[in-house]
Amino acid sequence: MAIVGGGPAGLMAAEVLSQAGIGVHLFDAMPSVGRKFLLAGKGGLNLTHSEPKDLFGARYGVQADHVGSWLALFDAQSVRDWAKGLGIDTFVGSSGRVFPLEMKAAPLLRAWLHRLRHPAFGVPVQFHMRHRWQGWAGDALVFSATGQFGVPRVRAKATLLALGGASWPRLGSDGAWVPLLAEQGVQLAPLQAANCGFDVWGRDGQGWTAHFQNRFAGQPLKQVVLQVAAQAHSIQADTRPARFERPGEFVITASGVEGSLVYAASAWLRDDLAQGPAQMVLDLLPHMSLAQVQKQVAWPRGSKSLTSHLKSRLGLEGVKMGLLYELCDAQTLANPLALAAAVKHLAVRLKSPRPVSEAISTAGGVKLQGLSPEMMLAERPGVYVAGEMLDWEAPTGGYLLTACLASGRMAGKGILKNLS
């Protein structure tokens, strides 16, 4: 049995198979496995989320039914139980996210690899590092292997591909598998950035002005509400309920915006941009009503500057004040009603998503409709696919990792079923 890719999905499938007594050879292009997993957990490994199952499953959008079949086998509680079995206790943070007590990814990965190499029962997994998959020659997997002569070829009773998407290519997920599967006639959706930042259009039809960029790039915008309107491809304000509306924070970049709140809305914003103009709408003072903001903006300011007036009456300052000056024209700034509306409904026009290589994760990939219930490719019998290679996406918050682990477990069980 061959597994190509040493991320969470591949390692989970290896665990299922090795514990069932199946000899597993795992190949990875990098010098060590789990590199993206380690980096993702550098600031605190978000394993999964504690919210109710129905809400959890809905996070997977249009692919919720497909991903739901994986989660039925291995859900959020299963992730916590599995981590505890590796000696890693977890806790629920204030946001509902689940973390290891030590917050780090490295102890969990070390314990996991030890169990795969030295299982209490089953067969040890054999790891082959610096083996980059190059496709097939007949029924044999072809690799280029650093430090070896010739081109290694491997024949296996079954193969699992778990090569990741195209984000963070320096860690091994570079999407180089796309043409290899396209040659086999596998149904693919184009790879796109997910959980990504965006470049913006400024008021002058360019990006941020040099003044705004130099002063505010890298600064967080806190305590705002971000909304994606019902028809974001129309720049006109839409009075219908928003498709996305959530409080949080994000960061101003040199060319646009990024950060947790933007990532959460990124699927809608990216898809809107594919159809035409797109925007996100900000409420800079969500704790105040429009009427309250109007009253304070209209309060006589005498000799005060507008900046001093808004700071004293509304507490607006710093990057929030900078955004108003950056995105509002002189007429809006001079009209109290229009300015109050901008404070509560500030439109930020988007130019494009940031490149997929900068994204947290990837959308697109192998279409789920082309897989059997056991995760096997219709076009290549005996070849299975799991993880981020598949055409699904999810927001950050533990949903990505949970589904990758669950898909690997699903594929491992499917392989066992078919081998038997």
Position 231 scores a pLDDT of 60
Position 238 scores a pLDDT of 47
Taking the CA atoms of residue 111, residue 114, residue 115 and residue 117 in that order, the dihedral angle to the nearest 10 degrees is: 160
Q: How far apart are the C-alpha atoms of 45 and 101, rounded to whole Å?
A: 10
Q: How far apart are the C-alpha atoms of 6 and 14, rounded to whole Å?
A: 9
Q: Where are the domains of the chain?
A: 2-194+359-419, 198-353
From first to last of the 420 residues of the chain, give the pLDDT tens digit.
999 999 999 999 999 999 999 999 999 999 999 998 998 877 789 999 999 999 999 999 899 999 999 999 999 999 999 999 999 999 999 889 999 998 999 999 999 999 999 998 889 999 999 999 999 999 999 999 876 666 789 999 999 999 999 988 888 889 999 999 999 999 999 999 999 999 999 887 789 999 999 999 999 999 999 999 876 444 444 455 668 899 999 999 999 999 999 999 999 999 999 998 899 999 999 999 999 999 999 999 888 899 999 999 999 999 999 999 999 999 999 999 999 999 999 999 999 999 999 999 999 999 999 899 999 999 999 999 999 999 999 988 899 999 999 999 999 999 999 988
Spell out the alpha helix ranges (H) of 59-177.
64-71, 76-85, 106-117
Nearest to 374 by CA among 75, 133, 160, 157: 160
For domain 2-194+359-419, which architecture applies?
A: 3-Layer(bba) Sandwich (3.50)
- Concatenating the DSSP letter of every residue in 265-287 gives HHHHHHHHHHHS-EEEEEES-TT
Q: To 10 degrees, what angle do helices 306-314 and 318-327 make?
A: 130
**Host H or E run for residue 227:** strand 220-228
Position 23 scores a pLDDT of 95
Q: How far apart are the C-alpha atoms of 398 and 90, rounded to whole Å?
A: 13
- Name the pTM for this structure: 0.89
Position 41 scores a pLDDT of 74
Nearest to 378 by CA among 186, 189, 188: 186
